[in-house]
Every structure is written in C-alpha cells, then in structure tokens.
Chain A
Amino acid sequence: MSEVTVRVSHVSKRFGDVHAVRDVSFEVSAGECFGLLGPNGAGKSTTLKMLTTLLRSDEGEIEIAGRALAKEPTRIRECIGYVPQMLSVDGNLTGYENLLIFAKLYGLRRREREERIIEILEMTGLEEAADRLVKTYSGGMIRKLEIGQAILHHPKVLFLDEPTVGLDPVARKGVWEHIERLQHEQNMTILLTTHYMEEAESLCTRIAIMSRGQIAALGTAAELREQMGNPDATMDDVFTHYAGKFDNQEGGMKSVFRSRRTAKRLG
C-alpha cells in the first residue's frame, strides 16, 4: 500500500437548503491522479474548495499529507497547489511576473525562485512568451501557466478544477500531455475534476463519479464498467448510468454561466 496523501471522510456542505455535498469519503494515494467526475452542479467544485481551504466543511474530516485541514489550514496551504476553474492569472502582467508573484507568496527564496521559474517555463514551453503580457496568450498557454504557478513550491497535492474547460481540442491535448508529464516525471499527486469522460479515463488512475453531492461510484475505469455489469460499455454509458443514479438535475443558471464565461475567457 502506498501512502495516503488526501483523506476525505464523511464530508458534507450545505448552502441554505441546498445540500451541495453529502457524506463524501475517499482517499487519494501518493502519486495517484484521482478524478472527480460529474455533471454541472454535482458538487465537484464545492468538494475541491473544501479541500483547498477556501470553504469550510459543515461535517466530516479532511486530512492532507497527514495534517488535519480544520486544525492547520495555513500548513495545508503550504503544501497544496490549486488551479481554479476560472482565470487565475493577471492578464496585465507578463508570464514571468505571474510566476514571480506566486513564488514570493509561497515564500521561495530569491535563488530558488529564479531556478524554479526557469524550470517551470521550460516544462511548460513558455520560455519565449515569458516576457509577453498574459493577455496575449492562447487558452492553452494560459492553462499551462496557471498550472505552473500552482506547482512552484513542489506541492504534495495539485488540485485542478476543470482543467480543460473551454479549450479547443488541440489545446486540450496539450494540457493533457502536460498533466501526464507532471504525474509520470514528477510523481505528482493530482486531484482533478472534470465532466469529460474521456479526460477522466485517459488521465486518472481512479475515478469517483459524483451526482447530487454524493459519490455514486468509485474505482478504475475498468472497475466502473464491471460494477455496471457491462464490460463493453463506453465511458459515456458509464457516466450516464451513474450520474443519473440520484436523479440528477442539470447544474443551475449559475454554474452554466460560470463555465461559459470561463470558456469565453480562455477561448
């Protein structure tokens, strides 16, 4: 058994009458790429926000790298990287400056900063664009820069919220390859959310399908097919099967608005 990096046990979150996340439990091992899959409004982003200390859970416990999130949020922030669904770089700064700001926020020392920024720029293939304003970047370049910002400090876990939403197929491919490299070459533990089946299948070692705030199924892609009783099912069949489990309604106006706006910004 490899070491558990993220442990979520019986976590719930309510917004007024809406039970956004209910009794969710799962574990992510070191070096694993874990996917939270589900339709809009299933509770994926809310779960991620709780894991990244942005939202406090109402019930349950979260542990990251052996530390209780509720007790030591600042320590947790030192060892996680987070790329929100929305745009998280400043278009009026250059790629280099965007990286430098976060290197400073993560408390890297001057020498480490320089080295690490150069490493990240090489890894993302953004060396030549480093001194250009980010508002001139393409959607794929922006995503890679955002991921680069989040791994400056060698986090124990990287959280990606819908990393390829709104990207064209070529840029999506590029971001996938980048995530795969992080996982295989750097042995990074990654937790990502997505509503693209093929994305979850090609990137993730294990997948949890969420529906109406609950985990409807959890396992490798092959296990999910088996549990469904149809080993030949396409991943889309699997998704539809489990996502409908709790009588899911489409994500509300707000989530549609969010993802379209993100799509527009990145596109």
Chain B
Amino acid sequence: MSSGVAEPQNAWAKGRSRVWLYFSHVFTILEMEVWKLRKDPSELIMRGIQPALWLLVFGQAFSRFRVLPSGNVSYKAFLTPGILAQSVTFISIFYGISIIWERDMGLLQKVATTPIRKSALALGKMLSASVRSLGQAIIIILLALILGIHMNFGVGAVAGVLLMVILGGAFFSGLSMVIAAIVRTRERMMGIGQLITMPLFFSSNALYPMSVMPVWLKVIATINPMSYLVDGLRGLLIATPDAHFGLDVLVLVAAGLVVLGLNTVLYPRILSG
C-alpha cells in the first residue's frame, strides 16, 4: 500500500507531453458517454422513430406530388440526407440539458477540479454528442436500405457521411452548451431548444432545394449551418451536382471551433448554478 502524502513523486507528475494528456482527457470524457450508451441504448432507438416517420409518411406522401425539383433522383432519396441532418441537429441541440443536469448533480464540479483543461472537457462533451448522432446516422442509413431508397452507399460515401455527422453533432451540441451556459436552467434550455429547432429546420435546404426558396429565405439558409450539413450529406449520398463538400466541411469545422472557444470562455458560468 502506498503512503499518501509522504510519497514524493506523484503519478501524474511523470513527464508526459501535455498534448497527449489533453487528448486522453478528451477521450476519457467521450468514453464515459459510450459506456453509458452501451448499457442503455434504448434512448438511441427511441430517437430513431421520428426520422423513420419522416421517411415513411412524409417522404411517401410528398414523393407522389412531384412538385419539388429533386433532380434526377426520387424525392425520398432527396429527403433522406435532409432527415439525417435534421435528426443530428435535433438530438444535439438539446445536449446542453444533460450538461445542466450534470451540473445540478455535482458531477461537473468534481470533473472541473481535476487537471482536465476547460477546452478538453468542452471538446469531449461535444464529441460525446457526436457519438449519439452517429447512432442516428446508422439507423437512418439502414432504414433507407430497407426502404430501397436509391443512394450511394459506397464505402467512401458512408465514411464521408459519418464525418459530416460527427462535425454536425459537435457543432450543434457545442451551440447547445453555449446556450446552456447562458440560460443556466433546464426549463429555459428546453424552451429555447424548442424555439430554435423548427426555424433551423425550415430555413435550411433539408426539405426543399435552395433553388425554390424566395430570396430572403435563401439568405437565411446560406447562414444556417444546417444547410451545409445537408449539402454535404446530399452531395455524398445522391451525388447532387452542385454540392460543395470541401466548403461544407470547412464551415462546420470553423463553426465548431467558434463554439468550442465560446464554451471554454463560458465554462465558469455553467458551474455556478
């Protein structure tokens, strides 16, 4: 048995590079989420129901109208990337609630007194939300396969889709954490989440292409990060000719870094309940 304070060299002090420690902290936070999801995946499965309804009901009905210019693919194929983006956004935009929950419990305070860097904690949490989004992506891709929706399911395309989902999930959950740090209670967080989900969804290109939008909506859609997520996913899955994968990745990475920075600055705010 080692002897507490009397031991001269503490375990942590042994020379390891700070960068390595930083990312091992990020990974630890992420690991915690994965362990919990593995024990109880029921939430992920439940959350798969809503996108299934969009594809089965909305998608079926709308594809009969043939009013939307979905190019040379079916409306269902056009809609699927949009619904994937929607479900990533919706699952992530409420992630701040779980941060407030951990704050209310005391777990977050305890983590904050360990040597973890603020930004490593924030990044770990953002990527934890991405893991949840990945679950959604897998459910929706399987669903599309079952429904026989014709899309590009090649290895490269699917890998790209997973990357986009990770980036999207990290950005929107980071945004949610920023909101959580500002409003600080679960009730207000729920309210704001409800308030912004629908406008985000309808002012993006998830349900209809930008080409049919009036100019004012086009402007909003252009600054809506969700549009870039949809565009990237659509480019990969149905090979739309005007997709800009590089730009989409760049916008989501940049937006993700901005919310990561904001979270690092705002973090003391969420700790003081």
Contact = CB atoms under 8 A, between A and B. Distances in A.
Contacts of B268: 56
Given A97-B35, A107-B16, A189-B5, A86 B106 contact: yes
Most buried by B among A53, A88, A133, A189: A88
The 8 closest A-B pairs by CB, nearest first: A86-B106, A186-B4, A88-B110, A105-B114, A84-B106, A82-B113, A107-B12, A104-B28
B107 A104 contact: no
B107 A153 contact: no
A168 interface: no
Interface in B129-152: none
B115 interface: yes
Given A86-B106, A149-B110, 11 more contacts: A80-B113, A88-B105, A88-B110, A93-B35, A97-B32, A105-B111, A105-B114, A105-B116, A106-B11, A154-B2, A265-B105
Interface of A: 30-31, 49, 52-56, 74, 77-90, 92-93, 97, 101-102, 104-109, 112, 116, 119, 133, 146, 149-151, 153-154, 156, 186-189, 265
12 contacts: A54-B271, A56-B268, A77-B115, A78-B115, A84-B109, A86-B106, A97-B35, A101-B28, A104-B31, A106-B115, A108-B11, A187-B3
A140 B21 CA distance: 33
B107 to A, nearest CB: 5
Contacts of B7: 154
B215 interface: no
A56 B105 CA distance: 21
Contacts of A189: 5
Contact of A54 (B5, B32, B113): B113
Nearest to B112: A54
B106 A88 contact: yes
Contacts of A146: 110
A93 B11 contact: no
B211 interface: no
Contacts of A49: 109
A108 B12 contact: yes
A246 to B, nearest CB: 24
Contact of B10 (A31, A78, A104, A149): A78
Interface string B1-37: 1111111001111101000010011001001100110
- Which among B1, B14, B36, B109 has the highest number of chain A CB atoms within 10 Å? B109
A108 B14 CA distance: 9
A164 B109 CA distance: 18
B113 A53 contact: yes
A84 B36 contact: no
A4 B111 CA distance: 26
Residue from A81, A105, A153 having most chain B Cβ neighbours under 10 A = A105
Chain B interface main SS type: helix
Contact of A83 (B21, B32, B110, B115): B110
B187 interface: no
Nearest to A101: B32
Interface in B100-126: 104-107, 109-117
Given A30-B5, A105-B25, A156-B5, A92 B115 contact: no
Contacts of A154: 2, 4-5, 7, 10-11
A153 B31 CA distance: 20
A109 B36 contact: no
B10 A153 contact: yes
A109 B11 contact: yes
B163 to A, nearest CB: 26
Given A54-B271, A87-B107, A154-B11, A188 B5 contact: yes
Contacts of A55: 272
B34 to A, nearest CB: 11
B115 A54 contact: no
A68 B21 CA distance: 23
A79 B8 CA distance: 12
Contact of A105 (B6, B28, B39, B109): B28
Nearest to A105: B114
Contacts of A52: 113
A154 to B, nearest CB: 6
A133 B105 CA distance: 17
B242 interface: no
Contacts of B13: 78
A119 B107 contact: no
Interface string B148-164: 00000000000000000
Contacts of A102: 110, 114
A77 B10 contact: no
B12 A187 contact: no
B5 A119 contact: no
Interface centre among A30, A86, A188 (most CB of B within 10 A): A86
